[in-house]
A and B are shown apart, each in its own frame.
Chain A
Amino acid sequence: MAAAVRRGKCSAAALVEASLARIAATEPRVNAFTDVTAARALDCAATLDERLAVRDTTAQALPLLGVPFAVKNLFDVAGLTTLAGSRIERGKPPARRDGPLIARLQAAGAVLVGALNMDEYAYGFTTENTHEGATHNPHDLTRIAGGSSGGSAAAVAAGQVPVTLGSDTNGSIRVPSSLCGTFGLKPTYGRLPRNGTYPFVASLDHLGPFARSALDLALVYDAIQGHDAHDPACVSRPDDRTADALALGMGGLRIATLDGYFADNAGPEARAAVSRVAQALGATRIVALPEVERARAAAFIISNAEGGSLHLPDLRTRAADFEPLSRDRFLAGALLPAAWVQQAQRVRRWFALGAAELFRDVDVLLAPATPCVAPAIGTEWLDINGRRLPARPSLGLLTQPISCIGLPVCAVPVWGCHASLPIGVQVIAAPWREDLVLRVAYRLQSMGVAAAPVAELQ
């Protein structure tokens, strides 16, 4: 897309107009957007086209020249109120400036076209947002898109924009990627600055991109890296350029499948997707992480406590204005004993050390991203290997233990394990090895094992 604009085959304005037209045509059925910033997008594209017309070589060299993108509505967008999926934030003053990742994407030539639906305050895995309406899965409109970054995945799957940004605290990039069949990257904890976004759980929040190819993910990831001291958890380390290293191949990479918890909590389609990926990569080794259930519990408790404390004043005075589907969990979080939270942090550290031990002789781990394909909107219960589990919190069963210790993950979409729907596989590496997960994702896409087609939306 950027290459076409660079060569003068199409204008940035034409790309933006095509995106706006696709949004207008599909939004009534998908409901991914909460705001479309058409005037801003057309202005921005016109500026790029003017620069290209006078042969501005800085503009010509921009890696994402003219590429339309959209962001989960917890990102600050200048002139829009940062809703974070809530009713409570409506009417608050608009953000004065764009969050840093939006500024960086724009500086790389990308064009913001709008803000996207999500679970309220990012607490959920379904994007059944009572205030805005549910986001529908573009591959089957009767089903959920996953969450909490459901709008971010659905907009890409519906072909509305090629790139979006979302956030992932317990799986909110990987779950919707799995259910909507997109590529999603959750980088290492501390890699991308989170200032200029509405927080959920400071100890666990990550930001990251969605796209329809591993190459697009890498180009976006390379454009948004960089330290920002306004996020105290953001680590100052040199950028890693991943796009140029995608085609290095699998030579010497030690890849293994995670067993135990990750097989026990995965349905047949999820297990089939992992087998297919492992087979394609020639990965025959099976390994296990210790005490995964405890890691998931730790992530739950930390999320519950930090989320509850963040919203405590509103929970005290206007609990009825919260999303009914997550209100009880926020309220429960406000009442957790401090000793549980402290113990959860100890478990987290212990589990991280266990994973580090495993990464001494493995480079990449494979695990399913969700226990099943997208359930119907309104589903209350899932049946996973004969166990009846509450649907809304359980979609993150397989993602929570990994984000609990901040490992980088690329969710890759696999087709053919279910009659008509995709399901994702988590490609996981040691901290700061985003290059490896993207390289494996690129390889799987080249082999045709992973793909992110635009939904037909007939």
Chain B
Amino acid sequence: MSLEVNLPDVLAEMTAVFERYEDALVNNKVDVLDELFWDSPDTVRYGVAENLIGIAAIRRFRAGRSAAGLARSLCNTVITTYGRDFATAMTEFRREGNTQLGRQSQTWVRLPQGWRVVAAHVSLIEL
């Protein structure tokens, strides 16, 4: 199978969607975050301190989350698209006043309703 990696228009679209997700995350736009996660019982989100299986669990977590201290800066973001409908978005992040380095991995699929995160994992490490 030959797969076209990082087609420029697909990469640009995926990057814009990723930026929209990041904006929603740091500004606690819960409706946008909810929109961008696949509406499915198979969606997985491993958080720093919780394992969430299925969109219902993810929504419950978001609704109960504090809106304070969400600001963060990203570095070493690597977005890669494979063909026109599949992508991974990997980034490191730091929060002000926190010495730990965050890592966020997302798997994105372009469904009929648009690009959606189908699996994600967030973790922290001490450097």
B-contact 0/1 string along A168-182, CB 8 Å cutoff: 000000000000000
B47-55, B58-66, B106-114 - interface stretch:
B106-114
Q: Is B126 an interface residue (CB 8 A)?
A: no
A108 with B114, Cβ < 8 A, contacts A57-B35, A61-B20 known? no
A57 with B114, Cβ < 8 A, contacts A107-B16, A108-B16 known? yes
A96-104, A159-167, A295-303, A326-334 - interface stretch:
A96-104
B112 touches A107 (CB 8 A): no
Q: Which residues of B contact A108 (CB under 8 A)?
A: 12-13, 16
Q: Is B124 an interface residue (CB 8 A)?
A: no
B108 — nearest CB in chain A belongs to which residue? A58
How many Å from the CB of A229 to the closest CB on chain B? 12
Q: Which residues of B contact A62 (CB under 8 A)?
A: 16
- CA–CA, A98 and B17, complex, Å: 21
Q: Which residues of B contact A367 (CB under 8 A)?
A: none
Q: Which residues of A contact B12 (CB under 8 A)?
A: 103-104, 106-108, 226
B114 touches A103 (CB 8 A): no
Q: Which residues of B contact A60 (CB under 8 A)?
A: 114
A57 with B113, Cβ < 8 A, contacts A106-B9, A107-B9 known? yes
Within the complex, which residue of B8, B110, B114, B115 is in contact with A98, where a contact is CB–CB below 8 Å? B8
Q: Which residues of A contact B10 (CB under 8 A)?
A: 107
A98 touches B113 (CB 8 A): no
Within the complex, which residue of A51, A55, A56, A226 is in contact with B15, where a contact is CB–CB below 8 Å? A226
Q: Which residues of B contact A98 (CB under 8 A)?
A: 8-9
Most chain A beta carbons < 10 A, residue from B13, B35, B110: B13
Interface size on B, residues (CB 8 A): 17
Most chain A beta carbons < 10 A, residue from B8, B17, B36, B115: B8
Q: Is A54 an interface residue (CB 8 A)?
A: yes
B112 touches A58 (CB 8 A): no
- CA–CA, A100 and B115, complex, Å: 21
Q: Which residues of A contact B115 (CB under 8 A)?
A: 58
- CA–CA, A51 and B112, complex, Å: 7
How many Å from the CB of A52 to the closest CB on chain B? 10
Q: Which residues of A contact B11 (CB under 8 A)?
A: 107
Q: Which residues of A contact B9 (CB under 8 A)?
A: 98, 103-104, 106-107
B114 touches A58 (CB 8 A): yes
- CA–CA, A51 and B84, complex, Å: 14
Q: Which residues of B contact A51 (CB under 8 A)?
A: 112, 114
How many Å from the CB of B33 to the closest CB on chain A? 12
A106 — nearest CB in chain B belongs to which residue? B9
- CA–CA, A62 and B110, complex, Å: 15
B-contact 0/1 string along A379-415, CB 8 Å cutoff: 0000000000000000000000000000000000000
B-contact 0/1 string along A201-231, CB 8 Å cutoff: 0000000000000000000000100100000
Q: Is A59 an interface residue (CB 8 A)?
A: yes
B73 — nearest CB in chain A belongs to which residue? A238
Most chain B beta carbons < 10 A, residue from A106, A107, A108: A107
Within the complex, which residue of A55, A100, A103 is in contact with B113, where a contact is CB–CB below 8 Å? A55
Q: Which residues of A contact B8 (CB under 8 A)?
A: 97-98, 100, 103-104, 107
Within the complex, which residue of B15, B36, B114 is in contact with A59, where a contact is CB–CB below 8 Å? B114
How many Å from the CB of A390 to the closest CB on chain B? 41
- CA–CA, A438 and B91, complex, Å: 31
Within 8 A of A (CB), among B1-37: 8-13, 15-17, 20, 35-36
- CA–CA, A106 and B13, complex, Å: 9
Q: Which residues of B contact A226 (CB under 8 A)?
A: 12, 15
A56 with B114, Cβ < 8 A, contacts A97-B8, A98-B8, A107-B10 known? yes
A107 touches B113 (CB 8 A): no
How many Å from the CB of A431 to the closest CB on chain B? 23
- CA–CA, A54 and B114, complex, Å: 9
B35 — nearest CB in chain A belongs to which residue? A57
- CA–CA, A106 and B10, complex, Å: 9
How many Å from the CB of A165 to the closest CB on chain B? 15
B8 — nearest CB in chain A belongs to which residue? A103
Q: Which residues of A contact B36 (CB under 8 A)?
A: 57
A57 — nearest CB in chain B belongs to which residue? B114
B13 — nearest CB in chain A belongs to which residue? A107
How many Å from the CB of A56 to the closest CB on chain B? 4
A-contact 0/1 string along B78-120, CB 8 Å cutoff: 0000000000000000000000000000000010111100000
- CA–CA, A98 and B9, complex, Å: 9
- CA–CA, A55 and B116, complex, Å: 13
How many Å from the CB of A141 to the closest CB on chain B? 36
B-contact 0/1 string along A182-214, CB 8 Å cutoff: 000000000000000000000000000000000
Within the complex, which residue of B20, B35, B112 is in contact with A54, where a contact is CB–CB below 8 Å? B112
- CA–CA, A4 and B8, complex, Å: 27
- CA–CA, A58 and B115, complex, Å: 6
- Give A residues with C-beta under 8 Å from B: 51, 54-62, 97-98, 100, 103-104, 106-108, 223, 226
Q: List 6 A-B contacts (CB under 8 A).
A: A54-B113, A56-B112, A97-B8, A98-B9, A104-B8, A107-B9
The 4 A-B pairs of least Cβ separation, nearest first, read A58-B114, A107-B12, A103-B8, A107-B13
Given A58-B13, A107-B16, 11 new contacts (CB under 8 A): A56-B112, A57-B35, A57-B113, A58-B114, A58-B115, A61-B17, A97-B8, A98-B9, A103-B8, A107-B12, A226-B15
